Structure 1
């Protein structure tokens, strides 16, 4: 073979190899990303052409697909859109997916590897493919109580079964109606999406798991836990509680709510929690030190960037590199401490469960179209947050908060409720956030709940955790106990 022919053959071979490599890369390595790209119209037609599985709460579909006479074949509908928007999210031709519609998409479309044999059976029998049903852990009565309690105020509620981690309620307000995004007109769906992006309160973002806030005095549960775990404190140990605490190396001070006294220069740890004494917990935080508070916070779930329910939960944060003044402020849940409502529900849940924190989860069971169980979530231990003795002491201290302290609005006749209020300062000129976290019954807990009412809700600057958030928590607890 002469030289020109050899060169031509070499170039042809190289081009052939490049073509095969390119085709292999696109068809194999990029297949998944191309299939899941929301701009892939063929994927959209394929997904809509088959019945997408329902999302279920309490035996009723809260998202389902119904046949329609258009090129897509099926329309996604949400019978109680706003109520469950933080759970279902949306499924949209123009805007993609969110929440369970996104993170359980393979199950809902039937493409999951767990449904392989179901797909083979449908292929052999000629049956039209159907997606699997995703059954949630949500208790509809608790979800409704949380939604009604917020009553149009911005905020969030998370309720967890302490013994298992099952999420019984997850509400974010303002919510949105996923039906307006599920329409098959791409221009209309896109316009609705833009309107929601510009709407006050960011309704497309779940405030329950995707937002974090200063937890205020609810964080005193973490500080109290660190003190009890240190072995140097009991519920009866006296701690300094001046009316005003001057922060070291500054002219700044920390005072108590309304400028009040905590009853003396020293009070017991239990009394400090009952009346939510800022100066006592700020002083205690400086004594315990930054490392002790951070380690305790992490055992409750702070600083975990990988927590999913299955949607990702924003990482809650306890700051580092603090000077004594900053540490004092952080010990009472201010400064740069940030926590999601899910995180504060986890704190209460761990205490309720004897110190053992269970990993929260939202999906209970996945069932194929023939109702066979594809998968079922088994409870898993997240951490041993505190010892059983510390959990018992904290429980009694929290009962005092509700029985005769700042959380009296959460009292329920015949039920011992354990709780903690929080009123977290925000940016200057804005009303504080109102928090409450609790569990009940205190002696055999069935539910742990966290509530935040953003910027005081309808009460504005007059809001406190006890006045604005505790009644909502009480309503959710009552709904669970009545179920």
Structure 2
């Protein structure tokens, strides 16, 4: 064989070898990555062709897959879309985005390992494969009350069953209609998604569990009071400074009370009175007295620092690691760099309500197969013992006084004892968020609530939480108790 023929034969053999290697790599090595590519139309079509499981609130589906006549086979639909948008998320050309659609995508799509034997059974029986249904813990009446209460305001509201940790309401405003980004018109979906994604008020952000966390303001005083009572050095009758301001060490600045008014005519208050009137100087001094370590440890017992999965991932709430005394005084009243989610503050209220025990929050009660069998069910799980039952009783008595005679009177419910705490969290010059946390009935709690309304208060006044947020919490509690 002459040299040109040998070179040609070698070239042809090399090309065949390269083709064999590339085919092997594509089919076996890179197959999973190629299938997972968002621009892989074959995978997208195959995914759309499978009926996704429903998401239920009570017995009503709020997310379903409806048959269509186009190439995608099924269309994801969301009933009451805006009410449950941050719970469901949405499923579209972008894949599963946000809420349960994303966090439980493998179950809803039917690809989860938990459904392996069911898929094998479908293969032999000829049943059409479909995803599992998720039964949520939400109470539709409480969810609706929260949404209506927030109205056009920015903010969030969360409600928990304090005895189990079940999430009864999870609302974030502004909201959006997931149907607008779940259609089969790619151009319309792209336009709507970009509008939502670039909107100044960020409707896609779930403010209840994530986003830019909030300063809690005075609702954090419940944590500070818990730390003090748990130390054994304080009781509800312990005396604290109650002047118009507190002289802070290491700085020429002081810690003023709201409106620069004294907390009492005598210049002193008890710990209980300090919570009722939300006395900044008293809690600032209390924070410096108990120390940064005790404050952080108490916050951690309520769940601060944890990143729970509900199953959506929750951004951890935090108390700063390094604090000098002025910073510690500010942190003790929920300012400086203390940052929280509304879910975390609902957990604080729920922990006090549940004899000091904080339960793991959860949103999915059960996973149901296509044959209506229960694949798995969530059992309540204790997260921590935040305070003793005795301390919890004392805090309940103090929080009940806030609603009975203090800044939280607008949360009163006829015939029911309500425990609560107002908060006004400064976050800029003259700007403040309005907070309220509560639970009811105080003697047998059925619901714990946290509400925050962005820019709902004034920096110089503690009334914002009581006027703006407390009525929303009241409506949520009534919706649960009146069933």
Please confirm whether the aligned pair reaches a TM-score higher than 0.5, indicating the same fold: yes
Structure-2 change in CA distance of 1:296 and 1:41 (3 Å): same
In the TM superposition, residue 132 of structure 1 has moved relative to its aligned partner by 1.0
Aligned to 1:106: 106
Q: Determine whether 1:334 maps to 2:335.
A: yes
Task: Check whether the contact 1:109–1:131 (CA below 8 A) recurs between aligned residues.
Answer: yes
Distance 1:122 1:149 in 2: 46
Aligned to 1:408: 409
Aligned to 2:353: 352
Q: Secondary structure at the match of 1:464?
A: helix
Distance 1:367 1:131 in 2: 9
In the TM superposition, residue 190 of structure 1 has moved relative to its aligned partner by 1.0
Q: Determine whether 1:174 maps to 2:178.
A: no
Distance 1:18 1:191 in 2: 38
Distance 2:111 2:454 in 1: 40
Q: Secondary structure at the match of 2:168?
A: strand
Task: Check whether the contact 2:96–2:105 (CA below 8 A) recurs between aligned residues.
Answer: no
Distance 1:81 1:196 in 2: 15
In the TM superposition, residue 40 of structure 1 has moved relative to its aligned partner by 2.8
Partner deviation per Cα, 1:152-179 (whole Å, 9 max, x = no partner): 1000000000010000000000000000
Aligned to 1:26: 30
Q: Determine whether 1:299 maps to 2:284.
A: no
Q: Determine whether 1:43 maps to 2:47.
A: no
List runs of 5+ in structure 2 lacking aligned partners.
1-5
Structure 1 residues 280-429: aligned runs within 5 Å: 280-304=282-306, 306-429=307-430
Task: Check whether the contact 1:286–1:327 (CA below 8 A) recurs between aligned residues.
Answer: yes
Distance 1:250 1:99 in 2: 45
Structure-2 change in CA distance of 1:339 and 1:440 (3 Å): same
Q: How many residues align?
A: 470
List runs of 5+ in structure 1 lacking aligned partners.
none
Aligned to 1:193: 193
In the TM superposition, residue 39 of structure 1 has moved relative to its aligned partner by 2.7
Q: Secondary structure at the match of 2:65?
A: strand
Aligned to 2:3: none
Runs of 4+ in 1 over 6 A off after TM superposition: 14-19, 459-463
In the TM superposition, residue 65 of structure 1 has moved relative to its aligned partner by 0.8
Task: Check whether the contact 1:94–1:186 (CA below 8 A) recurs between aligned residues.
Answer: no
Deviates more, 1:40-49 or 1:277-286: 40-49
Task: Check whether the contact 2:400–2:417 (CA below 8 A) recurs between aligned residues.
Answer: yes
Partner deviation per Cα, 1:111-136 (whole Å, 9 max, x = no partner): 11111122112211222112111110
Aligned to 1:136: 136
TM-score of the aligned structures, taking structure 1 as reference length = 0.93
In the TM superposition, residue 43 of structure 1 has moved relative to its aligned partner by 2.4
Aligned to 1:475: 475
In the TM superposition, residue 94 of structure 1 has moved relative to its aligned partner by 3.6
Q: Secondary structure at the match of 1:432?
A: strand
Deviates more, 1:331-340 or 1:460-469: 460-469
Task: Check whether the contact 1:38–1:96 (CA below 8 A) recurs between aligned residues.
Answer: no
Distance 1:327 1:247 in 2: 10
Aligned to 1:466: 466
TM-score of the aligned structures, taking structure 2 as reference length = 0.93
Q: Determine whether 1:229 maps to 2:230.
A: yes
In the TM superposition, residue 50 of structure 1 has moved relative to its aligned partner by 1.7
Q: Determine whether 1:273 maps to 2:269.
A: no
